Chain A
Amino acid sequence: MNRLPAAANVKILLGALIVLATLVAAVSVMKLDSFGNRGNSIGRKFTDEITELARIDPNLILYEESSIRISTGFEQSQAIAADSEGRIYVVGDNALRVFTPSGEPISRISLSQTVLCVEPGNDGRIYVGTRDHVEVFDTQGQRIAAWQSLGDNAFVTAVAVSGDDVFVADAGNRIVVRYDLSGKIANRIGEKDLERNVPGFVVPSPYFDLAVSKDGLLRVANPGRLRVEAYTLDGDFEFSWGKSSVAVEGFCGCCNPANIAMLPSGGFVTSEKGLARVKLYDSQGTFVGVVAGPDQLLEGAAPYVAVLPEQHRVGGFDVAVDPEGRVLVLDRAKNAVRFYTRKKAE
């Protein structure tokens, strides 16, 4: 049997080693993720689930957007309201703008500071909430009164007028203050008091809304408890509805609903931040359907996880309902008022 010389063995061994090293190097280069396209190795479960949450059954969407759209003219629109004649009030930057029901501008009132909420009264007065107090204007834009400050921690986020009462939601102090029309404090509502069965408001972020219902009870969104609570005007806690859930029937995230409005029928419109959804509940708090989901509110943009500050503003759209039952959504990302009307039964 012929045997190869030792030198030939070494050459073969070296050749094999070089081929092996070349193969390992080639595989390593191919597996290299220089641009980070593959991301981390844990998977995309969270992102996928968010996208899934944003999908809404089309059969649940009961409203459609009308062709009217009002540009607010603000760089930072804050809040919206409608009066009994359908006029639309929008505050933002340092001004209040009033529009006709069809979107024609009526007036612009300059304000000395940023206002966060607005509510037209039945007496022709307009109530606006600044950071720590309420100011009252007439329709000509003249300031009639500036009520006393609610303190350094105050952060006024909503005003509601009913008869001779004005209710002010103060997110900073986590309380609702009831005033008379002259600005005198009548009582405070919602301070934690276990003996009176008042659970206390939990307001993790500056979204704290209220409305007065036709049944004479005050409805307050308690966002940290993910529900809407009903109080007598004297501050007795009556009942609540709403639950924490990622499903469309519930309120998603840490603190929702961000905003609420009353329908002429006695039902409720709610607006959520984070996952932008505007939904409909009946007077008992039973889920009825959806006015607009992320697909409608974001206008074709793929639902995404809000990370950047400008994306945060996509949620928390303020809502109002006009006498015709149209749902007005203040799109804070586009600084526009969008109108949603109930779809006609097919």
Chain B
Amino acid sequence: MAEIKDNVTRRQLLRTGCYGGCLAGLGGLAGLLAAKSRAGDTVWQIDPYICIACGNCETHCVLEESAVKCVQVYEICGYCDYCPGFHQPGAVALDTGAENELCPTGAIKRKFVEDPYFQYDIDESLCVACGKCVKGCAAFGNGSLFLQVRHDRCLNCNECSIAAACPSGAFKRVPADKPYLLKRVENA
């Protein structure tokens, strides 16, 4: 019977096992980083042509103040004196009186341009993403106001709680290099 010369000592076994473990760990780490990098390629965004402005963006974001804000596309806006995104339906006067404004936080600022045109700007620090202005503008105006996830605020959660509560499926993953879905004049 042949004598086995290449006996493996306990020390060698431990050393080899240690190397193997380190390699497996490095491989796992690389895989994890690669997976994380892939997830980072997309971000959450609202498709304005599917959004129904239900109000869930205001209440379902994990942030204290929602990452969703109203945006204004000036190219589509009609600069109307009576702005259905700014004024209550049946407003007693077309001015900036709180009783005439639709926005519960006064986040839309009305500025006179020239007779009879007014410019409407969003103060994002006040906007709570309730979507009331979006509904008004879409119903009676040109639909220039709509909601978007602001990526300076969004945590890009893997399972976005607004997306889970979105009744119309408007919340979707989009490429991170094109993170906004804006309305265009030709589609307005």
Could you list which residues of chain A lie within 8 angstroms of chain B, going by C-beta atoms? 34-36, 39-42, 46-47, 49-50, 53, 202, 204-205, 224-226, 244-246, 252-255, 274-275, 305-309, 312
Contacts and interface: CB of A to CB of B under 8 A. Distances in A.
A255 B60 contact: no
Interface size bracket, B side: 35 or more
Contacts of B84: 253-254, 274
Contacts of A307: 51-53, 134-135, 138-139, 143
B65 to A, nearest CB: 14
A245 B93 CA distance: 11
Interface stretch (B25-33, B36-44, B74-82, B148-156): B74-82
A274 to B, nearest CB: 4
A305 B81 CA distance: 21
B82 to A, nearest CB: 6
Among A50, A205, A307, the most chain B Cβ lie within 10 Å of the Cβ of A307
Contacts, number: 102
A308 B146 CA distance: 11
B19 interface: no
Contacts of A42: 55, 58, 104, 130, 132
A244 B81 CA distance: 11
Contact of B56 (A40, A50, A275): A40
Contact of B116 (A40, A224, A245, A306): A224
A205 B139 contact: no
B142 A39 contact: no
Given A41-B59, A42-B104, A254-B84, A306 B78 contact: no
B92 to A, nearest CB: 11
Contacts of A202: 80, 116-117
Given A40-B55, A224-B116, A46 B138 contact: no
B135 A254 contact: no
Given A205-B142, A254-B142, A36 B165 contact: yes
B13 interface: no
Interface in B116-150: 116-117, 130, 132, 134-136, 138-143
Contacts of B51: 307
Nearest to B58: A40
B138 A312 contact: yes
B130 A40 contact: yes
A338 B36 CA distance: 58
Given A40-B56, A254-B83, A306-B138, A205 B78 contact: yes
Contact of B82 (A36, A40, A254, A308): A254
B89 A308 contact: no
B52 A50 contact: no
A226 B81 CA distance: 11
Given A40-B56, A307-B53, A46 B132 contact: yes
B35 interface: no
Contact of B55 (A35, A39, A224, A306): A39
A308 B49 contact: yes
A305 B50 CA distance: 14
Contacts of B143: 307, 312
A42 B53 CA distance: 13
B135 A46 contact: yes
A305 B138 contact: yes
A39 B80 contact: no
A50 B54 contact: no
A35 B187 CA distance: 31
Contacts of A253: 82, 84, 139-141
A305 B79 CA distance: 21
